């Protein structure tokens, strides 16, 4: 007999294993802009603050596949054009849940076409002019934002 556990129980087990193993996880986030220069941010449900869309790499997933998936899930954006890596960030205190080594990637995106997939995680997605980006960003992402703002236009592959 195969034991079937609810998805929520499996998720808790997964998070417990990450804490038990105490190993950094690979994160990825998007410094995403539209072709007319607006920045895409998501408002987190846990803190109510804004952040770059992103998340952690899933087992068996490539970095190239993870970012469009995360942007779609969190921001309701389907058209994502990946650009260059802007930096790798590894501050252990950035996220209280775990230590992530996060790859920041420049992206060009179209605007959101639907709401976030999980409103318990992400409340909304919105486009901002650079001067109107609300600070501080969630998870101490202001250093990432500063790098992204200084990077100039998105360079696509």
Instruction: Flag whether 10 is in a domain.
Output: no
Q: What is the pLDDT of residue 93?
A: 77
pLDDT (tens digit, 9 = 90+) per residue, 23-46? 788 899 999 999 999 999 999 999
The count of other CB atoms within 10 Å of the CB of residue 102 is: 25
Instruction: Flag whether 15 is in a domain.
Output: no
Instruction: Flag whether 1 is in a domain.
Output: no
How many domains does one find in the chain?
A: 1
Instruction: Flag whether 40 is in a domain.
Output: yes
Q: What is the pLDDT of residue 18?
A: 61
Interatomic CA distance for residues 149 and 143, integer angstroms: 10
Q: What is the pLDDT of residue 125?
A: 98
The count of other CB atoms within 10 Å of the CB of residue 22 is: 8
Instruction: Flag whether 60 is in a domain.
Output: yes
Q: At CA 95, angle to CA 90 and CA 97, rounded to 5?
A: 120
Interatomic CA distance for residues 56 and 104, integer angstroms: 12
Q: Identify the residue with better confidence: 12 or 88.
A: 88
Position 155 pLDDT exceeds 70: no
Find out whether 49 and 137 touch, Cβ atoms under 8 Å.
yes
Instruction: Flag whether 6 is in a domain.
Output: no
The CATH number assigned to the domain holding 81 equals 3.90.79.10
Instruction: Flag whether 29 is in a domain.
Output: yes
Position 10 pLDDT exceeds 70: no
**Residue-averaged pLDDT of the chain:** 88
Task: Give the count of alpha carbons within 13 A of 105, CB side only.
Answer: 26
* Model pTM score: 0.82
Q: SS3 breakdown of the chain: % helix, strand, coil, rounded to 5?
A: 25, 30, 40
Which tokens hold the place of 39?
Answer: 């920045």
Element (H, E) at 54: strand 54-56
Range of the structural domain that residue 48 is part of: 24-150
């Amino acid at each position: 007999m195969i034991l079937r556990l609810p998805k929520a129980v499996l998720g808790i087990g997964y998070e417990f294993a990450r804490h038990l193993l105490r190993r950094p996880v690979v994160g990825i986030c998007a410094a995403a802009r539209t072709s007319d220069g607006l920045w895409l941010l998501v408002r987190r449900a846990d803190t109510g603050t804004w952040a770059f869309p992103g998340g952690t790499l899933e087992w068996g997933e490539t970095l190239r596949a993870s970012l469009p998936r995360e942007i779609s899930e969190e921001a309701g954006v389907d058209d994502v054009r990946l650009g260059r890596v802007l930096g790798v960030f590894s501050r252990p205190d950035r996220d209280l849940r775990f230590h992530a080594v996060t790859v920041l990637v420049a992206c060009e995106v179209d605007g959101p076409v639907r709401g976030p997939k999980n409103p318990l995680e992400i409340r909304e997605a919105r486009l901002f002019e650079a001067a109107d980006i609300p600070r501080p960003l969630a998870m101490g992402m202001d250093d990432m934002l500063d790098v992204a703002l200084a990077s100039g236009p998105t360079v696509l592959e």
